[in-house]
Amino acid sequence: MNRDVIYDLAARLTASRHTVFLTGSGVSAESGIATFRDARSGLWSRYRPEDLATPAAFRRNPALVWDWYQWRRESVARAQPNPGHRAIAEFERRLARVTLITQNVDGLHQRAGSSRVVEFHGNIMRSRCSLEQCGAVVEPAPVDTTSPPPCPRCGAWLRPDVVWFGEAIPSAALEMALAAVEDCDVILSIGTSSQVQPAAGLAAQASARGAFLVEVNPESTPITRRADCVLPGPSGRILPALVEAMNAVAGNGD
Ligand code: BV8
Ligand code: ZN
C-alpha cells in the first residue's frame, strides 16, 4: 500500500468538514459474512440473490425466502465486527462530521460503535409485518421458525425488515443519504460492487459535484475509473492503516 497516498488521504480526512462512508457487504466479508453475491449455499445456491430478495419470491414461496434469511441471520448473529468496522467507528469519533451510509443489513457497524448509521437497505435482524397498513416491527427477529411467524398485531406473515428489489428505499434513509452526498467534501466507497441502484449512484453523484472520491475494494468496479484515490485491498487492512496515518498526522500537529 503506497504510504504517501495513505498519509495524503489521512491529512485530507483530518481537514474534511463532512466525510461520507458508503459501505457494502465487502466490509463484512472479513467478519465471515458472505458478500451479497455469494450469500447462497445448499438449497439456495440454485437461486440468484436478486431473485430471492423480492416481494414476488416471498409471496410465491414464503418458507424458502424466510429460511434463507434465517440462515443469513444465524451467520450474522455468530459474526463479530472486524477492524474495518471499528476503524469507521473511530473516524466517526475523530473527524469533524461523518455520515455512514450502509447497504449492509447485518448491524455490524452499530455493534462496532458507529452511532449515526443510515441503513439504506434495512436490517436483517428486525422483522416487520408484511401488511403495509399494519406496520408492526419485531426486534430481534424471531428465531427457530421454519416459515414466516404471524404478526403479533394482526396475524399476517412477518417478513425481514429489509428493502427487497423493486421496493423503495425508506424515505428517511434516502433523504439523509442524499443530503450527505450533496454536502460532503470526501466520500469513501468501501466494499461494494456498485451495481445496486440507487445506492450505486451515490458515489458518482458526490464526485460530480466536486467531492473527493475514494474507493476501497480488492477489485475494480464501475466507479473505479472516476475515483480520485483507489486503495485496492481489503477494508479490514486498509481502514486501520488509514486511522494510524491519521494519528500520525494529528501527532505531528500537521
Ligand atoms: C428501487 C437488502 C424503485 C436485501 C438489497 C436504476 C434506478 C433504480 C432502481 C434500479 C435501477 N436499475 C435497476 C434497478 C432495480 C434494482 C437494482 O439495482 N437491481 C440491480 C440488480 C441492477 N434496485 C432496486 O430494486 C432498489 N429499489 O429502485 O425501487 C422504486 C422506487 C419507488 C417506489 C417503488 C420502487 C432496491 C435495491 C435494494 C435491494 N436490497 N439488500 C437483502 O440483503 O437480502 S441489495 C444487496 O446488494 C445488499 O444490500 C448489498 O449490500 C447490496 C449491494 O451489493 P454489495 O454490497 O456491493 O455486495 P456485492 O456482493 O455485490 O459486492 C461485494 C463487494 O465487496 C465486491 O466488489 C468485492 O470485491 C468487495 N469485497 C470483498 N471482500 C472485501 C471487499 N471489499 C473490501 N474489503 C473486503 N475484504
Ligand atoms: Zn401486522
- Tell me the pLDDT of the chain averaged across its residues: 93
Calculate what percentage of the chain has a pLDDT beyond 70. Answer: 94
User: Measured in angstroms, how far is the CA atom of residue 36 from the centroid of ligand 1?
Assistant: 8
Q: What pLDDT, on the 0 to 100 scale, is given for residue 41?
A: 55
Nearest residue to 227 via CA among 237, 215, 209, 239? 215
Ligand 1 atom 64, closest CA: 192
Q: Cell triple for residue 44? A: 439456495
Check pLDDT > 60 for residue 135: yes
Mutate to test the pocket of ligand 1, among 47, 192, 239 (most ligand atoms within 8 A of CB): 192
Catalytic residue among 18, 85, 109, 121: 121
Ligand nearest, relative to CA of residue 76: 1
Q: Is 85 a catalytic residue?
A: no
Distance 11 CA to ligand 1 centre (A): 31
d(CA 104, CA 118): 10
The torsion angles phi and psi of 208, rounded to 5 degrees, stand at: -65, -25
What does 105-122 look like in DSSP terms, one character per residue? -S-HHHHTT--SEEETTE
Say which residue, 58 or 252, is predicted with more confidence.
Answer: 58
Contacts of 29 (CB under 8 A, 6+ apart): 35, 191, 234
Residue-level length of the chain: 254
pLDDT for 253: 53
| Predicted pLDDT at 48 | 81
**pLDDT confidence of 47, banded at 50, 70, 90?**
confident
Model confidence over 215-226: pLDDT tens digits?
Answer: 999 999 999 999
Cα–Cα distance list, 219 to 21, 72, 94, 143 (Å)? 18, 24, 28, 36
How high is the pLDDT of residue 164?
97
Query: For 6-10, 37-41, 203-207, which range has the lowest pLDDT when averaged over its residues?
Result: 37-41
Average pLDDT over residues 239-243: 98
Predicted pLDDT of residue 254:
43
Using one digit for the tens of pLDDT, what is the confidence trace for 73-93?
Answer: 998 999 999 999 999 999 999
**CA angle, corner 246, sides to 242 and 248, nearest 5?**
115
Reported as a single tens digit per residue, the pLDDT across 88-131 is 999 999 999 999 999 999 999 999 999 999 999 999 999 999 99
Report in angstroms the alpha-carbon separations of 62 from 1, 148, 165, 166, 169. Answer: 46, 7, 16, 17, 22
Q: How far is CA 235 from the centre of its chain?
A: 13
pLDDT tops 80 at residue 38? no
For residues 29-57, give the mean pLDDT.
Answer: 78
Cell numbers for 29, please give them. 466479508
- The pLDDT assigned to 195 comes to 92
pLDDT for position 249: 87
Residues with CB under 6 A from ligand 1: 24-26, 29-30, 35-37, 50, 53, 103-105, 121, 162-168, 191-193, 195-198, 216-219, 221, 234-236
How far, in Å, from the CA of 126 to the mean position of ligand 2? 14
Which numbered atom of ligand 1 lies nearest the CA of 24?
56
The pairing of beta strand 229-231 with beta strand 122-129: unpaired
Q: In this predicted model, what pLDDT tens digit does every residue of 141-194 receive, in sequence order? A: 777 777 899 999 999 999 999 999 999 999 999 999 999 999 999 999 999 999
